[in-house]
Amino acid sequence: MTDQVELTDPRALRAYAHPIRLTLLGLLRREGPLTATQAAAATGESVASCSFHLRQLARYGLVEEVPGVRGRAKPWRATARYTSWPSDSDDPELAAAATALERTVLDQYHRTAAAWLERRAREPVAWRRAGQLSDHLVYLTAEETREVSRRIAAIVEEFAHRSADPDRRPEGSRPVHLIHLVVPRTPAEPEAPAAGTRARSRAMSDGPDATAGRENRAAAP
């Protein structure tokens, strides 16, 4: 698996902008190679639906069949850890396709966060304390904003090897979805009601399928 695959064809961005395809690609990155039948069991979709969407992902180089496997039910694997695409294109078609994809990704982020809130009360106390919801409003230049994103990505990268190698995951670890959003505001825009909010547990009070430069990187929407 390579580090990332970049989508620069508007047709590829439009093809990727589908909730089931985002889910399937994230699943393959997290769990490793799976057949369409196994993917269906994990997602609740039909085998026929998973098979169709996996073929569409393969068409644009996002997944591939595992070579050398005999039998009718061939497993699929992700081709890269991240998917990136330009969000600053001057090409109207590419810019529109990127915006449509990002709206789909944002919807996935919302569903992920909402699902956590639904089950949080049933989670062990340590994980209830670990989950966080916060935002910050700061004044930065464009370059400083990119530097903040680079620093965050560097911290996360320290733990990235655990995704590919289960033997390197410490006891008690589990998948944790860190969602990173950077939203430049206009000077005249009213302050968002939630700006400066930080929801976290008392334990944290003493003391989470990334954006890097011009690219948007989605690992596991």
pLDDT digits (tens, 9 = 90+) for 185-195: 987 766 665 55
- Residue at token pair 């990002």: 102
Q: Which domains does the chain have, with CATH numbers?
A: 2-131+201-218 (1.10.10.10)
What is the enclosing helix (H) or strand (E) of 208? none
Query: Could you tell me what percent of the chain has a pLDDT over 90?
Result: 71
Secondary structure letter of residue 62 according to DSSP: S
| Nearest by Cα to 217 from 184, 182, 185, 169 | 182
Model confidence band, residue 3 (pLDDT cutoffs 50, 70, 90)? confident
| Two structure tokens written together for 113 | 């966060």
- Residue at token pair 């008690």: 172
64-95 burial, b if ≥16 CB within 10 A, otherwise e?
eeeeeeeeeeebbebbbbbbbbbbebeeeebb
Do the beta carbons of residue 210 and residue 4 sit within 8 Å? no
pTM for this prediction: 0.80
| Two structure tokens written together for 93 | 């078609």
Q: How do residues 40-53 score in pLDDT, each as one tens digit?
A: 999 999 999 999 99
Q: How far apart, in whole angstroms, are the C-alpha atoms of residue 141 and residue 19?
A: 34
Q: How do residues 86-133 score in pLDDT, each as one tens digit?
A: 999 999 999 999 999 999 999 999 999 999 999 999 999 999 999 998
Question: Does 214 score more than 80 pLDDT?
Answer: no
